[in-house]
Structures are given as structure tokens and as C-alpha cells.
Structure 1
Amino acid sequence: MINSHDLYRELLEQIHDGVYFVDTERRILFWNRGVERLTGFGRNEVMNHFCHDNLLRHVDGNGTFLCQDGCPLQKTIEDGQSREAEVFLHHKDGHRVPVHVRVTPVRNAAGVITGAVELFNDNSFRHSYNERIRELEDLALLDPLTRLANRRFLEDHLEQQIKEIDRYKLSIGLVFLDIDHFKQFNDRYGHDCGDLVLKTVARTLSGNGRAFDVFGRWGGEEFIGVLRNIDGDALRHAAEKFRTLIATSSVPWQGEALSVTASFGATLLTDEDTPSSGLQRVDRLMYLSKEGGRNRVTFG
């Protein structure tokens, strides 16, 4: 006969969401299969470690590292209040994953707080993204390395979106980014490392956009995002979010955690734009970011 403790543990193992428990010092005491799936970290790698050791390296939308400042778990242990947050965890492979976090205090029979439980789920539009991947594969419109749309698809998609600006009164944003000092990754660590840098940036873009945003690899270390139904302020915020998430990611390579940044240009398209004029403008804005010190967004 299964006792209640084992039954509850098995139920927590079976749920799709990530669940883990910590004590009052934020030492990890339980780590279910959902967390393993969402983070890439196996329980043997994390059990009895402290979450503030920066295992998941949660950041908020401004790039603040919550494990050191503003941790929802720590606040709940201190004040006993449940709370929710939208954060971005750091996957073992290096890219950022958006998650919705819910934290609840754990109390003993006397009502004393003995720790907290964090439950979180993937907040990206993973299903929509996977459907798009299958469609692009069928049409040979997928970049084989990054699994994003390729240049051929981006050119056709951008032309279609410009036609819809006047027809449907849509506002279309265009983002162009180039990985900073990308040649140094290839020269110092080899092309396999460079490929991993490209994949990390691609996963960060695809996992943190909206379901109807399209991201693709334009060529080399350049990427493009086409963002529908967005105004200037929202486009600035989105581009800055992607810049921050890339800058707070890392690329695991032979025991090192390599930092990567990207320079961005962002612009709103008009019904007078052509794909060529829009791309020329956003490319020029990206180079202004390069000239301004890199790892920044220039909007125009």
C-alpha cells in the first residue's frame, strides 16, 4: 500500500508544470520531472544546492538578476505572502525561457514557515512555434542550423506584411540584430562554438516572442524579426527585451559560460516602404548601435 507521502510525491512528479521545494535558506529539497524538462537541469545536479547559487539565474524584463535581488521565493519566505511573477529562467543550454512563477509558503503544524514551493510553466508560444516549424520544413523555408525562418521566407513575409499595412491599417515593426564580435567566437573557440552561439540567440528570440511574431536568420550572424500590430513604444520595449535576454544568456562551452550580446536596429514600417527601403533603414540603425558601443537598440 502506498503511503500518503509517496502518493503526493508521485502526483507532483506526474504534473506537466515545474515544481520545486526549498527550505528557509533556499536549499533545494525537491525537483520534479517538469522542472527537469523546462530547465535542462537534472535533479542530481541541483538537489541540496541553493537556488541563489544562480542555477536558474532568473531575470525580470529589465535584466535584473532576481536570485540576488528581488527573489520571489525569498520574499515569500520572509513575509509569508503568496506571489506570482513573469520571469525568464536560464536554461542549461544557455538560452532564456519565459515562465510564469507562482510561489507559496510552506508551514509546519505550528504555522511556522519552513520553506516555500515554486510552481512554474513555460510562458512561450511553444505550440504555435512548433506548428510554424513544421510548415516551414515542408516548404524548405527553414534555416537548418537555427531552426528559424530562412532569408527566402523572410523576404516573402516582409513583402506580404507591407501590403497589409494600408489594407488592414496594421502597424508593422521591423527588428534587425547582429551578434557582437561574432568572429571572435569562431576564431578563438572554433566554428562549432559559433554555431552554438547562433542557436542560443535563435532560441532566445523564438521562445520569447508573441505567437504571430516571425523571426528568422537573415544570414551569417544577422537575424530579423517582423512584429505585427505593434506601436512605437511597444516596439522599443520588445527590442530592448530581446537585447536584455540575449545579454543575460550564456553559451556553455567546454566548462566556460560565454557571454554574448547583439546590436539592434528597430523601425516601424509605413505603407510607403518597400522591403528594400525598410531593410536598408533598419540595417543603418543597427550599425548606429554598433558605432555607439554595441549591445544597444537604436530606434528610428
Structure 2
Amino acid sequence: MTITPDQARWFSDSFTAIVRNVERAVLGKTHTVQLAVTAMLAEGHLLLEDFPGTGKTTLARALAQTVQGTSSRIQFTPDLLPSDVTGVNIYDQKNGQFEFHRGPVFASIVLADEINRASPKTQSALLEVMEESRITVDGRPYDVGSPFMVIATQNPIEQAGTYRLPEAQLDRFLIKTSLGYPDRESTMRVLHSGGSRPRTAALPPVVTTQAVAEMAQLAGGVHIEESVLDYIARLLEETRRTADVRLGVSIRGGLALVRTSRVWAASQGRHFVMPDDIKVLARPCLAHRLILDPESEFNGVTADEVMGRVLAAVRPPQERQSA
């Protein structure tokens, strides 16, 4: 069912309220907060590649509190085991049975800090739960609930002793972006607070988890014209034949762009997707899915630069057809 204009306005108002509330804790990062909320409402996950101390944990906690959810933080280290993430069955001598003790993955917003420092075996423990919102321990499935979102971080420096995320796992992240350092005005506001109290401590919820589920469902009804879908398809094809790329974006990346563009359009109060929505989201949705040619990567070519060339090469549709 197509979303109505009234529903689109309610979606936009709720989206704005969530973003503004999170911004009370994460200062001066409106666009990144919007991308994080978009990933949550598209029922996807977020990858942040950023320096230490830029507010990644604050973002996760603020987002969870805003939607009346729970948050947890997992510090990934080389000795972290998969059971440390998912949970483990422990034998209870009193009743003579095994009891499942839930791991930190059972939360609305899970911050996987420095995910590339854990072994590939532990990294893969997140694959099932990211894809299906459930885990399996000793053959028994456990749902983690809804909403569920993983915010994983990578440190772009100090790569010694890290395990690069495989392409299959990178593809599971709907959006990749960064927070970066705040501007001077935001920095001054943080310094004035003195750091004596976490900015998320008194953050009130503005929507319920049920409202988040309703928003996610409504987003699926945002209309996308054939011409816009064709634009996405041409972007995918261009990534596969452009210079400096060994492997372009798969169909999963295209579906990710469709899902996020619907949420983004509804957040602007529209019941249809425009080409400009695709332009805004193409880099955060697609760039991390590109596998660059090793020689080009050695010469300093970045995936973001390649996506810029792709967007410049593919002409968007010029006229909107009737819905």
C-alpha cells in the first residue's frame, strides 16, 4: 500500500523529532544523525569509520534512549569469543538443566566498537543476527527483538593487529559514514559542559519502539518510479565498469539504496522518491561495497572518489512521471 501525504507528514515530523533529540547529545552532526536514523528505520545497520573520541558511543546511547530502547557496547578485541557476543548456555546444577545467558547483542542498539580488532570467527558471529535479527545457540534460535540495529566502528589509524572486514560482512552494513570532529561552535558547547555529566543522562524518549516499527512499515509504501529504479540500475552498472574498480556493487547494494531512499523521501514529507534522494545516499550506501583495484588503492584512490565519478557519469531522470 502506497503511503499517503498525511502519513508522509507524520513520518517527517517523527523523523525530525528523533534527529533533534539525538542532536542534544551529538552536537553539530545533523547529516550523520540523519543517516543513522535512516539506517534504523530501513531496518539496517551502520558502519562508522572514525577516530577515537568523536562520539560514537554517545550516538548509540542517544538513539536508543530516543526510541525507548536499550543499548549495549561490545569492545572487540583479538581474544573476544563468539559466545561473548551472542551469549552462552550454562549448566544450572540446581535444576539440572542448561540455561541460556544472553549476550550484549540482545539490545535495541548494539555498539560494536572497533569491530576489525576481533578475529574473523567472532566477526562472523554478527552475520546471522544482522541479517535475520536472531541468533542460534546449540541449535535453538533466539530473537533479539525490534528495533534492532548494529552500529559498528572502525579506527582508520593503528591498523596493526586488526582483521579487515570481509566483503560479505561489509555488504551487511546498510550505510557507512563518519562523525568526524565537531565544528568550533559545537566544540565550545561541549567544553562549556565540562564533561562532568554524560549528555545522554537526561535525554528523554520522543517516540516508542512501536512507533519506530510503524515508521519502518510506512517507508515500504513510498513510491519509486520506473525511471528512478532505472537510474539506480545504471549506477550499479557504472560501478562495475568504471576505472580503478575490481568488483562493483551487487544487487544487494541496489536494494539497500532503494530501502534508504524510501526512508529519506518520507523524512522530507514526500510519498515518492526523487533522483536527488539517490544522489544524497549513493556514497554512504554504495561506496563501501566497492572493491578497488589493488594498484589504484596503493596510489591513493578512494571508493568515495570513485562514487563521485560514477554519479557524474550517470545522468539522472529529468522529469517525474505520474504516480
Give the TM-score of the pair, scaled to structure 1. Answer: 0.29
Give the TM-score of the pair, scaled to structure 2. Answer: 0.28
Task: Give the number of the structure whose alpha-carbon radius of gyration is greater.
Answer: 1
Whose strand proportion is higher, 1 or 2?
1
Name the structure, 1 or 2, with higher relative contact order (CA <8 Å, separation 6+).
Answer: 2
